[in-house]
Amino acid sequence: MRLLRLVALLALPVGVLAPLPPGLAMPPPAARAAGGDAALLRQSQARVQPFLAELESLVAIDSGSGQRQGLERMAAHLEQRLRRLGARVERHPAQPSAGEILVGHLPGRGDRAILLMVHTDTVFPKGEARRRPFRIAAGRARGPGVADAKGGVVMILQALELLRARHGRNHAPITVLFNPDEEVGSPGSARLIAELARRHAVVLSFEPSPQNGVIDSTKGIALLNLKVQGRSAHAGADPDSGRNAAVELAHQVLALQTLGDPARGTTVNWTVLRSGERPNVIPAEASATADMRYTDPPELERVREQVQRTIGRPHIPGTTTTLALTPRRPSFPRNPASEALVRQAEAIFRELQLPLPAIAMGFGTDAGHAFQPGSSSPAVLEGLGVVGGGLHSPEEWMDLGSLPARLYLVVRLLETLSALPPPTTPSPAATPGGHG
């Protein structure tokens, strides 16, 4: 039987799966490619209802970054689930972040261990789960964190259940990491992610995919903070004796509008400006913050030097401007080890006669902390979570029709990763610099 026709037939009895919006439906049935696993596809389809039930229960938990109570509820649920899968579970503090990092160890055979990771925090305020509860309409599930990244959490759990049902413990050793602070740059979990990554041959990260594909590179993130010191004065009686920090800041920000370099994939956007508290006082202080995204690490130093040259030429005499450039998350660039994983995943999707685009994303993820510059180990692949969009907004959604194929992909990856060539260079001892 053709595998894609099987997808369509299997979908019919599942009442929750409403028709997909135009352009989101899977391609028409095509001839089965060699090596496809019809049994796994049936098993993946059978997992759709349990997947959605578990996802609904997690979306109902407010777990925004810093919301300790909700993050603990997430951790308690996930610890129980990992133990049911036969994992030995550890909890690690995520200070200075709220919540704890959950690490589960599933024993297996061989020495090419696999790390699966995704975050449990969201960007939404407390009460959002009640205001916008989980719902399904027109082939999409909606709710806070439904794709980013609670869908990825459930993808890991359901894929591991499928793997265990098919093979017991006859698979590579697997470690699962759930961290509570990715949305704020992983300040409390970056070191542990890097440490665990160095012990594994492969790292699979489960952020959502904007298409039915995978992510083979992400940007690094840094923050630029300008502070201007001037002198206050009465805005009406004696303004000339002041040194207006707000006006100086405006001049500097305008002069620094071209810090980005599209050819290098670097963007710098000024996003937060602050100055003054009273309208009748010339402000003595002002500050601005910019979001920097980059692919090449040397861009950090180029931007730093350009800013220092610019702010060294004040527009208002008597004002002083200083810069703090803070790396928040390293980049995850395209690299040969990750491209080998992409090819492995593409071959699996060809079993379903589906394309698998490899996408470069402008956001930063924990894949940047797992990636080890200068080493071919571990091989890192991002974007293995659900297909979704509208991230960080009330319009966030997850595509239902893609779930069976995504589960199929993850399980087959776990089954076939031993076919990848072994690493050829040792892992470095140092953790990647910078986190956020």
The pLDDT tens digits for 279-296 are 999 999 999 999 999 999
The pLDDT of residue 4: 44
The pLDDT of residue 35: 63
The pLDDT of residue 244: 98
Nearest to 37 by CA among 427, 413, 432, 433: 413
The pLDDT of residue 190: 97
Asked whether the predicted pLDDT for residue 37 surpasses 50, the reply is: yes
Asked whether the predicted pLDDT for residue 176 surpasses 90, the reply is: yes
Round the average pLDDT of the chain to a whole number and report it: 89
The answer to whether residues 403 and 370 touch, using CB atoms and an 8 Å cutoff, is no
pLDDT band for position 430 (cuts 50, 70, 90): very low
188-237 confidence digits (pLDDT tens)? 999 999 999 999 999 999 999 988 999 999 999 999 999 999 999 999 99
Q: Give CA–CA dist 181/94, Å, rounded.
A: 8
The pLDDT of residue 29: 33
pLDDT band for position 377 (cuts 50, 70, 90): very high
At 90 the three-state DSSP class reads strand
Asked whether the predicted pLDDT for residue 421 surpasses 80, the reply is: no
pTM given for the model: 0.84
Question: 342-378 in b/e burial notation, b at 16+ Cβ within 10 A?
Answer: bebbbebbebbbbebbbbebeebbbbbbbbbeebbbb
Q: Give CA–CA dist 120/58, Å, rounded.
A: 9
Q: Which stretches within 232-371 are classed as H helix? A: 245-255, 298-311, 336-350, 367-370
Q: Give CA–CA dist 194/189, Å, rounded.
A: 9
Mean pLDDT of 177-190: 96
Residues annotated as catalytic (active site), given as ranges: 121, 182
Environment class of 119 (CB within 10 Å of its CB; exposed 0-12, middle 13-18, buried 19+): buried
Out of 31-45, 91-105, 149-163, which region has the weakest mean confidence (pLDDT)? 31-45
pLDDT band for position 432 (cuts 50, 70, 90): very low
Pairing of strands 320-329, 281-282: unpaired
Asked whether the predicted pLDDT for residue 59 surpasses 70, the reply is: yes
Q: Which stretches within 224-286 are classed as H helix? A: 245-255
pLDDT band for position 429 (cuts 50, 70, 90): very low
Q: Give CA–CA dist 89/406, Å, rounded.
A: 26
The answer to whether residues 138 and 160 touch, using CB atoms and an 8 Å cutoff, is no
Q: Give CA–CA dist 337/344, Å, rounded.
A: 11
Asked whether the predicted pLDDT for residue 250 surpasses 70, the reply is: yes
